[in-house]
Structure 1
Amino acid sequence: MSTVQSLINDVRQKINALETAQALYSRQLSPDFSTFDYISTDELGLSRILAALLDPNGSHAQQESFLRLFIEHCLPVIYKDDNWQVFLNNLEKTEVFLEEITGKSNTQRRMDIYLRCQVGDDSYGICIENKPYATDQLDQMKDYATELENRKHKHWHLVYLNENNDVPSEYSVDTTTLEDWIIGNQYSHLRFSGLISWLKACQVECQNHSVSEFMAQLTKFIQKHFMGIEDMNEDNAILDIIKQNAATIDASIKVSNTVDRMKKELIAKLKIDLLAKYKKTDYELDTSYIGEGRRYEQIRFIIPGYNKAWVCFEFDNAGFDRPILGIKFTSVEAAKACPHAESMKTVLNTMLTDKKVSSSAQWPAYYYFDPQDWKGSSEAWLMINEGTMGDKILEEMDTVFQVLNDNHLLNEKL
């Protein structure tokens, strides 16, 4: 038996053993229970949680310790900058605001999380742009920088929080301006996975069990939804098998190198399934924009006579991960020009009671497609292999089209 096959067999046996143990002791372990299944984890919900933890006057009652650890672990350019030492010495004076309106620049945007610290005549400002799911808006980061400038802070800093992008898109800020911010220690990119070290440090310092347990639950949520880690016990068990010896490490690398190819082959199968099962009615199916695993790859329902938008299934992350489904316009300008944009979200929210419909600049109405985790879970890939994923995508895309069409929201040629 090859080392690769032996490795796969060992991993399968270990997972089966863990699943058996979890089934036997589920009442004691409660492996599927998570606090975050019962609270809002959309963009505003996550911003609310982070703002509450960063607030020195927050109900966690740990004073400025969480904020201090956040600066230390997540914003080292500030932590090591002499210009920010006065701020660091006065963290207890920091005020934290949620959805702060950019009134000084007259752009009427909302800063997801805004930290302001006044020390004597000097003030310090930090804006955290939280992007767990949504895409960048036109000049968004530039507008935030203008707002911070206009607030006359002695020093200010922008934080772009997401998981997969290395930088904001040029749609939000041009490369030259971003480089100027970086050189001037006015910008940091932070991944959700990068919050883990901060949360663990907070748990060590936290003196309240309930708050510490909440942070542990938040850590598990981030690991699951942004890092693809469903079960740390399972993950650690597999890691132990992989690290046994040189042969198992070599075998695991070989397996890892074929996963991307496997996904691309299954996506090719999905395209064939979709085209075979699709019945041309009032729209045309276009699968030419998917296959390589780049971010924003998509499947389109082209609507004849309505060439400014299409019903769209799109991967929000690279590597075929976190799909969304809804109505997408060809440009932000086209979406703004559509008189039915707000109605699209309202109607879909009303009709699709099991979905949480959101909107963004180019998407008047969309929701996150289930299964959501295509990176860390095998569920979606098994469905493709079994031939059921194509049916699900077609059914949901057709439902979105029919709801919009029946409500006369697709009958205007723009």
Structure 2
Amino acid sequence: MSVVQSLINDVSQKIHALETAQALYSRQLSPDFSTFDYINTDELGLSRILAALLDPKGSHAQQESFLKLFVEHCLPTIHRDDKWQLFLDNIEKTEVFLEEVTGKSNSLRRMDIYLRCKVDDESYGICIENKPYAVDQPNQLIDYYNELIAKGHTDPQIVYLSEYNDTPNPASVDAETLKCWIDKKQYSHLRFSDLIGWLKTCQVECQNPSVSEFIAQLIKFIQKQFMGIEDMNEDNAILEIIKKNAATIDASIKVSNTVNRMKKELIAKLKIDLLAKYKKADYELDISYIGEGRRYEQIRFIIPGYDMGWICFEFDSADFDRPILGIKFTSVEAAKACPYTEKMKMVLNTMLTDKKVNSSAQWPAYYYFDPQDWKGSSEAWLMINEGTMADKILGEMDVVFNTLKANGCFTKY
């Protein structure tokens, strides 16, 4: 038996043993239970949670400890800057606001999380732009920066929180301006996975068991939603096998190198299945934009005579991960020009009661396709291999199309 085959067998046996243990002790372990299955985790919901933890006057009653740890772990630019020392010495005076309207600069946007601290003649302002799912809006970060200046903050700080984007969209802030902010230490980029270290430290410092358990559930949610980690026990068990010796490490690298090829071959099979199962309707199936694993690859239903957009299944992340499904317009401008964008979201929200319908600049209405995790779970790939994924995608896209059509959302204007 080859080392690769032996490694795969060992991993399979370990996973089977863990699944057996979880089945036997499920009542004690409750492995599938998560508080965050019952909490609103859209952009506003996550902003509310983070703002509550950061607030020195928050109901967690841990005073300024969480905020102080946040600056230390997540904002080293501020923590090491002498200009912010007065803020750090008076951090308990910080006020935290949710959805703060940018009235001073007259841009009338809403800052997701706004932190303000005044000490004598000094005024410190931090805007946290929370981007868990949606895309950036034109001039969004520039407007937030201008608002901080208009509010009289001599030391403004823009924090861009996004797991999947290394930098904001150039439409939100151009590269030259962003570089200027970075050079002046007025910009920080954070990923949700970067919050894990901060949250774990908060657990250690926290003196209330209920708050500590909430933080533990938040960590678990971030690991699953943004990092693709379903079960840390399983993850650690596999890592232990892989690191056992030089042979298993070498075998794991060889297995890893073939995973992307396997995914591309299964996506090729999915395309064949889609073509075979697609039935002529009031739209045309377009699969020419999927196959390489680049971010935003998609499957389209092209609507003859309707050039504003299409029904779309799209991977929100690279390597075929985090798919969303809904109606996507050709551009932000096209979406703004359409008088039915709000109606589209309302209609799908009303009719698709089992979905959480969202909207963004180019997507008047969309939801996160289930299964969502194509990176850390085998569920989606097994469905493709079994031939059932094509039915699911075609079926859901057809429902979205017919629901919008029946409610007059494709009427010319």
Equivalent AA in structure 2 for residue 113 of structure 1? I
Residue in 2 that maps onto 1:134 = 134
Give SS of 2:324's match.
strand
Equivalent AA in structure 2 for residue 236 of structure 1? N
Map 1:198-213 to 2 at 5 A.
Answer: 198-213=198-213
* TM superposition shift of 1:259: 1.1
1:286-333, CA deviations, whole angstroms, 9 ceiling, x for partnerless residues? 111111111111111100000111011111111111111111110111
Residue in 2 that maps onto 1:235 = 235
Give SS of 2:200's match.
helix
Give SS of 2:13's match.
helix
* TM superposition shift of 1:8: 0.4
* TM superposition shift of 1:35: 0.9
Map 1:265-280 to 2 at 5 A.
Answer: 265-280=265-280
Residue in 2 that maps onto 1:53 = 53
- 1:20 lines up with 2:1 in the alignment: no
| Mapped partners of 1:200, 1:342: distance in 2 | 40
* TM superposition shift of 1:411: 2.4
Residue in 1 that maps onto 2:284 = 284
Equivalent AA in structure 1 for residue 122 of structure 2? D
Equivalent AA in structure 1 for residue 108 of structure 2? Q
| Mapped partners of 2:138, 2:128: distance in 1 | 17
Moved over 4 A (4+): none
Give SS of 1:239's match.
helix
Residue in 2 that maps onto 1:110 = 110
Map 1:159-308 to 2 at 5 A.
Answer: 159-308=159-308
| Mapped partners of 1:366, 1:281: distance in 2 | 21
1:40-69, CA deviations, whole angstroms, 9 ceiling, x for partnerless residues? 111111100000000000011111000000
Equivalent AA in structure 2 for residue 406 of structure 1? A
Give SS of 1:181's match.
helix
Map 1:369-408 to 2 at 5 A.
Answer: 369-408=369-408
* TM superposition shift of 1:338: 0.5
* TM superposition shift of 1:225: 0.8
Equivalent AA in structure 2 for residue 407 of structure 1? N
| Mapped partners of 1:67, 1:169: distance in 2 | 28
| Mapped partners of 2:319, 2:159: distance in 1 | 25
| Mapped partners of 1:172, 1:315: distance in 2 | 22
Residue in 2 that maps onto 1:321 = 321
| Mapped partners of 2:26, 2:335: distance in 1 | 49
Give SS of 1:313's match.
strand
| Mapped partners of 1:262, 1:169: distance in 2 | 32
| Mapped partners of 2:328, 2:139: distance in 1 | 20
1:59-102, CA deviations, whole angstroms, 9 ceiling, x for partnerless residues? 11111000000000000011001111011111100000001111
Residue in 1 that maps onto 2:363 = 363
Give SS of 2:170's match.
coil
| Mapped partners of 1:268, 1:171: distance in 2 | 34
* TM superposition shift of 1:185: 0.5
Residue in 1 that maps onto 2:9 = 9
| Mapped partners of 1:135, 1:269: distance in 2 | 30
Aligned length, in residue pairs: 413
Residue in 1 that maps onto 2:79 = 79
| Mapped partners of 2:142, 2:305: distance in 1 | 36
| Mapped partners of 1:34, 1:281: distance in 2 | 41
5+ residue gaps, structure 1, are none
Equivalent AA in structure 2 for residue 411 of structure 1? T
1:367-387, CA deviations, whole angstroms, 9 ceiling, x for partnerless residues? 111111111111111111111
| Mapped partners of 2:341, 2:22: distance in 1 | 47
| Mapped partners of 1:5, 1:142: distance in 2 | 54
CA RMSD of aligned residues (A): 0.9
| Mapped partners of 2:257, 2:10: distance in 1 | 19
Per the normalisation by structure 1, the TM-score is: 0.98
Give SS of 2:227's match.
coil
Residue in 2 that maps onto 1:353 = 353
| Mapped partners of 1:272, 1:139: distance in 2 | 41
| Mapped partners of 1:169, 1:258: distance in 2 | 32
| Mapped partners of 2:398, 2:353: distance in 1 | 16
Give SS of 1:226's match.
helix
Residue in 2 that maps onto 1:152 = 152
| Mapped partners of 1:262, 1:406: distance in 2 | 40
Equivalent AA in structure 1 for residue 178 of structure 2? L
| Mapped partners of 1:261, 1:99: distance in 2 | 44
Equivalent AA in structure 2 for residue 377 of structure 1? S
| Mapped partners of 1:400, 1:175: distance in 2 | 37
Equivalent AA in structure 2 for residue 355 of structure 1? K
Per the normalisation by structure 2, the TM-score is: 0.99
Equivalent AA in structure 1 for residue 58 of structure 2? G
5+ residue gaps, structure 2, are none
| Mapped partners of 1:252, 1:67: distance in 2 | 40
Residue in 2 that maps onto 1:337 = 337
| Mapped partners of 2:211, 2:408: distance in 1 | 50
| Mapped partners of 1:385, 1:142: distance in 2 | 46
Q: Percent identity?
A: 79
Give SS of 2:182's match.
helix
Give SS of 1:177's match.
helix
* TM superposition shift of 1:171: 2.0
Residue in 2 that maps onto 1:31 = 31
| Mapped partners of 2:227, 2:44: distance in 1 | 20
Give SS of 1:92's match.
helix
| Mapped partners of 1:89, 1:42: distance in 2 | 34
| Mapped partners of 1:303, 1:243: distance in 2 | 52
1:335-386, CA deviations, whole angstroms, 9 ceiling, x for partnerless residues? 1110111111111111111111111111111111111111111111111111
